[in-house]
A and B are shown apart, each in its own frame.
Chain A
Amino acid sequence: MAAPMLRWGCRGRRWALACVDGGSCHRRGAPTGSTSNRIRGQSSVAQQPLHTAQKPRKGEHKWAAVVGLEIHAQISSNSKLFSGSQVRFSAPPNSLVSFFDASLPGTLPVLNRRCVEAAVMTGLALNCHINKKSLFDRKHYFYADLPAGYQITQHRLPIAVNGSLTYGISAGKECGQVIPKMVRVKQIQLEQDSGKSLHDDLRSQTLIDLNRAEGQLRVDANISVHHPGEPLGVRTEVKNLNSIRFLAKAIDYEIQRQISELENGGEILNETRSFHEKLGCTVSMRDKEAKQDYRFMPEPNLPPLLLYDATSLPTGADPQQVINIDQIRETLPELPSVTRERLVQQYGMLPEHSFTLLNEVGLLEFFQNVMKETRAEPKKVTSWVLNIFLGYLKQENLAVSESPVTPSALAELLDLLDSRTISSSAAKQVFEELWKREGKTPGQIVSEKQLELMQDRGALEQFCYSVMKDHPQVVMDVKKGNPRAINKLIGLVRKATLNRADPAVIKEILEKQLSS
């Protein structure tokens, strides 16, 4: 998600819920006890099969899996979504709790302006349609960390819908090619978070802290399988996914489990499953109280949330009390997809390069700083930054900010290369020296190690001539038409010149001398 996750949440925190799907959608909030028909009616048609079974068995029909992700992200703000208590990480239990957060009778929710702005920004960044009118609802269920007995959410009409996110996946380790992909965002909604439960199994009790819930970013996956062209299958919801890696594992497992189950004549239950990390499988969470009916109803204490744009802004309105979508759009920074496109256009780099530049924190800035200070061609700079510089960083597991080589140093080095003061291999040597953090500039290293290319063409011609004279049999091989022989000659000249000659120039001189 594009939403920045900067701070931890507290009880009653704001969470923007983004329902992201790669194919059809599985709407959040459908109770586990509901019929699958109702879910199908609400979801859009699957269009993009994400996975097909490797070996078609019975029936020989291909399977298509449909996956929907439900992402909970905390908004960065000073106070909570519906109350003025603080948002802070690691506070003493129940110290950031107001009377409303504790659900004391007579308290009312008061919406935080900053949270609405954040939700609108997120919606705009994800290409959503922003609903100028959205509604709050109550979702009822009983649990000790939800003292009100319900959660305020946006079930019927959320703040943003129908967005998309483009991203890239690497095609293969070798070619480094990046394939652009797009995922649909079904909706983004503002909602409260529940408190935190600490289970004390020893004393058979649960300790409740109404400050916050666990984690700043949580994902649940909804998975179903079907044959393309047929109606969607029954979905299961998989929870307890603590990393991207486990998310992928859980989805893969669940898809296979559902396919096996159905191919063996079984059926899929609309249920919630938990991912068991060690076993790498999903386990049913059903218990006797499985029937879950959230009894959604409009939140009676909150009027509809109205948003405006430049054209619909009411005149003479208190600016504190109105939210202008157009104004918020202007505060958005350049989005990654736009930056990538700009890099490709401006510097002529390949799309996969633009992905790499943006995927590493600080790398784009580094690249741009080098570009500012060097005369070298963008393609050269790109190649050096993405291959050599990034390679060294990765080898030592360093962040860009920890790099011993500054953009200025690399720029100076590339200038030396560009002006043909040094050869490409000499440049790599200099880079290695720079990485040692000895505080020397590229210029200093070049002169210390005498890496300057010979500029005297006459002297170089002399070297070539003497090498050819000393190795007549190699010269014969070249004249016979052996393609490798000339490389041998070049190597000999390079050795003779202590590697201070440009191999390309050597070759050119040799060829000229051989033909005469």
Chain B
Amino acid sequence: MLARALWLGLRVPLGGPRGFTSKTDPQGSGRITAEVIEHLERLALVDFGSREAVARLEKAIAFADRLRAVDTDGVEPMESVLEDRCLYLRSDNVVEGNCADELLQNSHRVVEEYFVAPPGNIPLPKLDEQEPFPHS
């Protein structure tokens, strides 16, 4: 969604060994390889699903790369927009919990007050096993 809103008036800088794009395509046209998409899909469990989505991603990266044009030498990075706020310290008292019944109702499967999950992480199918872009 962010990418769609932003690419309306974008000038994509071509070439230049900057940012993410440099690893993905030697021609500098901002293409992202299938391996990188697969890696991102596993990491974040998102489904890029279509070429359009990948293109959107490429444009988003290109947009963000423009930050490198700014000279930030000697400038402390901002870690958080909350950096001027006070971090609230809570007293060490017990004030919540004891709502197992309520919480367990959220779970599809429950066994004796335990949430039930699959035995381990189910690996995503490998790249060659997948159908390329099932919903284009």
A residues with a Cβ closer than 8 A to B are 77-79, 83-86, 92-99, 101-102, 104, 110-116, 135, 140, 142-145, 156, 197-201, 204-210, 287-289, 291, 293, 295, 298, 300-306, 320-321, 323
> Which of chain B's residues has its CB closest to A135's CB?
B79
A303→B85 contact, CB < 8 A: yes
Q: Report the bound CA distance from A301 to B87 in whole Å.
A: 10
Given contacts A116-B89, A201-B119, A304-B83, is CB(A94)–CB(B104) below 8 Å?
yes
Residues of B near A287 (CB, < 8 A) are 123
> Which of chain B's residues has its CB closest to A288's CB?
B123
5 more A-B residue pairs beyond the given contacts A85-B97, A143-B121, A300-B81, with a C-beta to C-beta distance below 8 A = A97-B100, A206-B120, A289-B123, A295-B43, A302-B87
Interface check B118, CB cutoff 8 A: yes
* Chain B nearest CB, measured from A66 CB (Å): 30
**B1-9, B60-68, B109-117: which lies at the interface:** B109-117
B83→A303 contact, CB < 8 A: yes
A97→B99 contact, CB < 8 A: yes
A84→B96 contact, CB < 8 A: yes
Q: Report the bound CA distance from A140 to B46 in whole Å.
A: 14
What are 25 contact pairs spanning A and B, CB under 8 A? Answer: A84-B94, A85-B97, A92-B100, A94-B100, A94-B103, A94-B104, A97-B97, A97-B103, A113-B91, A113-B92, A116-B89, A142-B121, A205-B109, A207-B112, A207-B116, A208-B116, A288-B123, A289-B121, A293-B39, A293-B43, A298-B80, A302-B80, A303-B86, A304-B83, A320-B89
Residues of A near B51 (CB, < 8 A) are none
* Chain A nearest CB, measured from B89 CB (Å): 4
Q: Which 7 A-B residue pairings sit nearest by Cβ, starting from the closest?
A: A144-B117, A85-B97, A114-B92, A207-B114, A84-B95, A113-B89, A303-B82
B113→A86 contact, CB < 8 A: no
Residues of B near A96 (CB, < 8 A) are 97-98
A111→B88 contact, CB < 8 A: yes
Q: Report the bound CA distance from A86 to B112 in whole Å.
A: 21
B87→A305 contact, CB < 8 A: yes
Q: Report the bound CA distance from A140 to B103 in whole Å.
A: 23
How many residues on B have C-beta within 8 angstroms of the other chain's C-beta atoms? 43
> Which of chain A's residues has its CB closest to B109's CB?
A205
Out of A112, A156, A198, A305, name the residue touching B90 (CB < 8 Å).
Answer: A112
Given contacts A86-B97, A97-B97, A298-B79, is CB(A110)–CB(B116) below 8 Å?
no
A94→B90 contact, CB < 8 A: no
Out of A78, A94, A301, name the residue touching B113 (CB < 8 Å).
Answer: A94
Out of B43, B44, B81, B117, name the residue touching A208 (CB < 8 Å).
Answer: B117
Residues of B near A77 (CB, < 8 A) are 92
* Chain A nearest CB, measured from B18 CB (Å): 20
Residues of A near B91 (CB, < 8 A) are 113-114, 320
B121→A302 contact, CB < 8 A: no
> Which of chain A's residues has its CB closest to B100's CB?
A94
Q: Report the bound CA distance from A210 to B97 in whole Å.
A: 11
* Chain A nearest CB, measured from B42 CB (Å): 7
